[in-house]
Amino acid sequence: MRRMSAALLAAGAATLIAVSGCGSQTAAPLGNTALAAAEALQDSARKSQEVNTYTADIVVDLTGTPQGAGKVQGTMVYQQKPNLAADVTFDQISVGGQTVPGGMRTILLGDTIYLKLDALRTLAGADAKPWIKVDLKEVSEQGGLNLQELFAQAQQYDLANSVKMLTASKDVKAVGTETVGGVETTHYSGTFPVEEAVKQLPAEVQERARGEFAKLKDMKFDAWIDGEGLPRKIQMNGTADDQGTFGITLQFRAFNEPVDISEPPADQVGELPKNLPGTGN
């Protein structure tokens, strides 16, 4: 169960990073080449603010963790307005040689998460519904359940802030042009200091973010920006104290196209089992 929890944590982290980030910064003195690259990222952050919906492919690779090597892979459909919504499917979740059978799918609608996970259904019994409904506010009051920690943060961030996180870099540079998903892009590469990035977050979320990001270091990134200033692909690599190294790849597409994110059929939805470890019940 411990390894499975690590796999779910990695899946949740992938979800959050896909929709998380930091605020803008005042440009530091840079050489002409670096300045042009920094301005390109700033422009991309501004253009990304106009994105309301998108689809992203997500891949997370973990090495050197206490549980062993791991990989999480899936897709996400995201909507910012009129109401926050996301539909995330992880087809592959594995840590330390142990996989999560059937993967995992989550639908986030405001303060409610619908979770489809075979392992939970097995624990709940043969008659359990395929989907489980989780009220984030209720879980927060009960305390202890990791799902709340993994997904509640998604209500505070969007794609635009994800790009702004990269603008904390003081050494970003353009390294060439590449085609990503059939679209011509400029490839940028650099590093960013985690502490400085946290300082740029909105004041109301800085304290929480500081605790969540405190163990991250050595953050490196690559970003592929298209001719319209939108990010087509972002890769981030780093280390976490006592948790090994990680690499995250997000490939974005289908900007501002209509999406359909809705709750599962009512007859397929059950309540969160009361006897699960970590639920506080």
Over range 118-123, report the average pLDDT: 72
Supply the pLDDT for residue 257. 96
Eight-class DSSP state of 83: S
**Taking Cα atoms as reference points, which of 50, 28, 37 lies closest to residue 228?**
50
Chain-centre distance of CA 45, in angstroms? 17
Domain 2-260 part of CATH 2.50.20.20: yes
**Would you place residue 125 in the very low, low, confident or very high pLDDT band (cuts 50, 70, 90)?**
low
DSSP bridge pairs for 94: 71, 99
- Whether the pTM exceeds 0.75: the reply is yes
**Highest mean pLDDT (candidates 70-74, 97-101, 136-140):** 70-74
Supply the pLDDT for residue 160. 72
Supply the pLDDT for residue 227. 93
- Calculate what percentage of the chain has a pLDDT beyond 70: 70
Supply the pLDDT for residue 6. 44
33 vs 239, more confident: 239
Give the model confidence (pLDDT) of 224-250 as tens digits: 999 999 999 999 898 877 778 888 899
Task: Kindly compute the dihedral angle of the four CA atoms of residues 223, 226, 227, 230, in this order, to the nearest 10 degrees.
Answer: -90
**Would you place residue 83 in the very low, low, confident or very high pLDDT band (cuts 50, 70, 90)?**
confident
CA-CA distance, 129 to 269, in Å (whole number)? Answer: 5
Lowest mean pLDDT among 63-67, 130-134, 198-202, 258-262: 198-202
Burial class (CB in 10 A: 0-12, 13-18, 19+), 177: exposed
Give the model confidence (pLDDT) of 164-215 as tens digits: 778 889 999 999 999 999 999 999 999 998 888 777 666 766 777 677 677 7
CA-CA distance, 235 to 178, in Å (whole number)? Answer: 14
Supply the pLDDT for residue 38. 92
**Would you place residue 276 in the very low, low, confident or very high pLDDT band (cuts 50, 70, 90)?**
low
CA-CA distance, 102 to 118, in Å (whole number)? Answer: 6
**Highest mean pLDDT (candidates 31-35, 121-125, 239-243):** 239-243
State which H helix or E strand residue 33 sits in: helix 32-48
Number of H helices and E strands in the chain, helices first, is 8, 13
CA-CA distance, 112 to 123, in Å (whole number)? Answer: 21
CA-CA distance, 65 to 53, in Å (whole number)? Answer: 34
Q: Cβ of 280: how many Cβ atoms within 10 Å? A: 12
Residue 250: how many CA atoms within 13 Å on its side-chain side? 28
Cis? peptide before 82, omega within 30° of 0:
yes
Q: Which amino acid is at 21?
A: G
Is residue 264 scored above 90 in pLDDT?
A: yes
Give domain limits for the chain: 2-260
Cα→Cα distances 104→107, 115, 120, 211, Å: 10, 7, 10, 27
CA-CA distance, 247 to 233, in Å (whole number)? Answer: 13
Over range 108-130, report the average pLDDT: 79
Cβ atoms 88, 106 nearer than 8 A:
yes
Helix (H, G, I), strand (E, B) or coil at 192: coil
Cβ atoms 123, 135 nearer than 8 A:
no
Supply the pLDDT for residue 156. 41
CA-CA distance, 280 to 212, in Å (whole number)? Answer: 22
